[in-house]
A and B are shown apart, each in its own frame.
Chain A
């Protein structure tokens, strides 16, 4: 294939991945809505094998099926997107994250991979709707800032591009999973406080208890925070020292990376502080994620600064 053909191919793959991911999102939403009236006990009965599911009309079974389809589609989207991102790299002959469009695609890919891996490790398929929904939006938004494949601007000619951005993407993927878990934690914790035993129907009662979700959110953040520290506060400054002659200069992007770091440090402290556990910590995690997203959207589009890939 010629470089132009690779690029064309990449564009088709990314577009297809966006479509597949949107379908995965629909399937996950269906999974939730089909289980709207299902009491959590039903699952216990089923898993005990006492009442074998008889008809396909069974809402539990249909909900489970939708969830399974959602997960399969998410995996498919991840594979197709991987192909798209690799093809993009081949067509530009460099790492495929040299501008905002490419960063959006690669970051979504890393979020999908993180999700698929974590589903297998920790059974977190219940954050699926949030991950797929968010991923679809990011891919769609990336299409709006599409630029044809081309070589890098001189400022990005550095192997720190690989290290620094890869670290930021991995941390970001974990932050997304953590934020999704924190949202569900808030919803579930509130429901646990306010919902009477007999009203506990719907998918919300088929996901783990809030304490378990909280634990999971913490683990994901505890994984992400050191990586973010490395990407934003070690690799970034080292590169800045080579590129701009100072390792830290309060450039808007640096400021927001720092803010994100401080907020997540706040989250980790909150988890160890009596009155701040639970809800307040979860809100901090969401604030942290919001500052992370703002750094890539708000700062690139509205504030500017030295980070040239934003243009």
Chain B
């Protein structure tokens, strides 16, 4: 823009001593100048960096907690600065809002200019061609009228005006209007994308939930989610009432001893679902990259792991727990950590904390997992008894054990450790038993809905085409002046690009060649 309207991009940055109106106008002009756009673009890039280096709440809340534990001094400061939610922080929003305003302020006036220009005729030929960036002169024995005809064919699909004056004929031509159109489309599409994204975020929701297989169930309501976030215009009644049952979670890994042993090969969750209550259940088969779509919501398989089925009896012989317990994998061999809380045990509540190894092996006297498939499962626990603290009203994570009011069982001087293979049972110190019944699995699903996803998609695709037009089309003006000079015709040609380019002289040569070709063509026809 600065090339065409130097007064804009090139205005001095000094604040003039002006009244409020002038100041507003000055400010607006600064904001919508190309230089400001450039500056804001770079600022946006810089502002985006911290969010990629520090964990983000919206992306991985657990990583943020871990960061706080590892960096107790710096984390609270970073938190104040909004570093853990950069992309919704005031400063990041400020930059992109300014960019948006700048963009709109840029697009609007340019669109008016464009629509006026689109109906305008090509500008009249300047008097002095040699002042233009590229010009040439040659002579021919064809008449000026024939030159005009040749010019029309050489110019192709340009808009052409011809002016006849006494002995001089002038051709003015302009082409490449679509370049500016493309540019406008591209910039408008950025606005469309951002608006579409904003709408999708405001009305969308996203949550995740862990469901164990062999019959674990989920019904789409807020209380069922382990994690849930939603846009500010979303209301809980908007949750579609679907439900599903997970029958089987399949995880396959590259077999032991083969190349890339242990690398995951297939994750598949199968079961049945109902879109509305009362419907007949229909089967589903979710794999990574192939979610289950239910209306505008979709269910994604984003993680899985082992959920040993454990049975606990208390000292009175009552079965106080008989269910699968998800253990979160901590490394690629699926060494997994988990907690089992048994509040119904009597006389004391019981808490188990330990790990699960899918393929256990002894190494230097320690049990580790050597492969993620469940070939030799081992479950190992320390045990506490006392008060689990579940009645304090403070919500607890199912993966942590609050030991503040509990006592750990001892085995002599050492802490008691119970290790079980599937089918094995161990006795608990105060009576009661724990049995590792079998290995089940869990799936972690993400359930989300982002309404209007197609808006940003089509926006950016339109933008891409606009971009390509604006980058490849040359907006070019060509003037040809044919003058009778004795028996011959003197032809002056000049070209001007509305966007400065260095290949203009070469293009002029090409054009002259085409023009002379066209002239030669008529020459031949007439000869």
Contacts and interface: CB of A to CB of B under 8 A. Distances in A.
Interface of A: 147-151, 153-155, 157-158, 160, 211-212, 214-215, 222, 225-226, 229-230, 233-234, 237-239, 241-252, 255-256, 258-259, 262-263, 265-266, 268-270, 272-276, 284, 291, 299, 303
Interface string B70-107: 00000000000000001100000000000000000000
A273 B38 contact: yes
Contacts of A237: 456-457
A149 B260 CA distance: 8
B133 interface: no
B58 interface: yes
B1 interface: yes
A242 B291 contact: yes
Contact of B464 (A155, A230, A263): A230
18 contacts: A215-B501, A226-B471, A238-B457, A239-B289, A241-B453, A242-B291, A245-B206, A245-B298, A245-B448, A250-B58, A255-B48, A259-B48, A262-B41, A262-B48, A273-B2, A274-B3, A275-B9, A276-B35
Given A155-B288, A274-B6, A150 B263 contact: yes
A245 B34 CA distance: 36
A134 B460 CA distance: 33
A150 B289 contact: no
Interface stretch (B49-57, B114-122, B275-283): B49-57
B414 interface: no
A255 B52 contact: yes
B355 interface: no
Contacts of B290: 242
Contact of A249 (B6, B42, B59, B260): B59
Given A154-B266, A246-B206, A266-B45, A272 B289 contact: no
A155 B289 contact: yes
B315 to A, nearest CB: 45
B388 interface: no
A225 B471 contact: yes
B10 interface: yes
A258 B206 CA distance: 23
A225 B467 contact: yes
B9 A255 contact: no
A222 to B, nearest CB: 4
A215 B87 CA distance: 36
Contacts of A154: 264-267, 287-289
B206 A251 contact: no
Given A155-B289, A262-B41, 9 more contacts: A150-B263, A153-B265, A154-B289, A234-B457, A234-B464, A239-B289, A244-B302, A269-B37, A272-B34
B499 interface: yes
Interface string B15-45: 0000000000000000000110110011011
B295 interface: no
B254 interface: yes
A247 B464 contact: no
B327 interface: no
Contact of A274 (B10, B266, B287, B447): B10
Nearest to A4: B259
Nearest to B34: A273
Contacts of A251: 59
Contact of B259 (A150, A211, A226): A150
Interface in B245-269: 254, 258-260, 263-267
Given A225-B471, A262-B44, A274-B3, A215 B34 contact: no
Nearest to A159: B289
Contacts of A249: 58-59
Nearest to A247: B453
Given A245-B300, A250-B51, A274 B289 contact: no
Contacts of B291: 242, 245
B358 to A, nearest CB: 17
Interface of B: 1-3, 6, 9-10, 34-35, 37-38, 41-42, 44-45, 48-49, 51-53, 56, 58-59, 86-87, 197, 206, 254, 258-260, 263-267, 287-291, 298, 300, 302, 446-448, 450, 453, 456-457, 460-461, 463-464, 467-468, 471-472, 499, 501-503
Nearest to A229: B464
B260 A262 contact: no
B218 to A, nearest CB: 15
Nearest to A3: B259
B463 to A, nearest CB: 8
Nearest to A209: B502
Most chain B beta carbons < 10 A, residue from A238, A265, A268: A265
Contacts of A226: 464, 467-468, 471
A176 to B, nearest CB: 19
B86 to A, nearest CB: 8
A228 to B, nearest CB: 10
A266 B300 CA distance: 36
B45 A262 contact: yes
A246 B6 contact: no
Nearest to B289: A158
A87 to B, nearest CB: 15
Nearest to A161: B289
B462 to A, nearest CB: 11
A303 to B, nearest CB: 6
A245 to B, nearest CB: 4
B460 A233 contact: yes
Contact of B56 (A242, A250, A262, A265): A250
Contacts of A222: 471-472
Contacts of A211: 502
B45 to A, nearest CB: 4
Contacts of A241: 450, 453
A190 to B, nearest CB: 19
B309 to A, nearest CB: 25
A212 B502 contact: yes
Contacts of A259: 45, 48-49, 52
A303 B49 CA distance: 12
A234 B460 contact: yes
A225 B468 CA distance: 9
Contacts of B58: 249-250
Contacts of A230: 464
Most chain A beta carbons < 10 A, residue from B9, B446, B471: B471
A272 B3 contact: yes
Most chain B beta carbons < 10 A, residue from A160, A246, A252, A256: A246
Contact of B499 (A149, A250, A272): A272
A95 to B, nearest CB: 15
Nearest to B42: A266
Contacts of B266: 154
B9 A273 contact: yes
Nearest to B251: A154
Contacts of A150: 254, 258-260, 263
A299 B52 contact: yes
A251 to B, nearest CB: 7
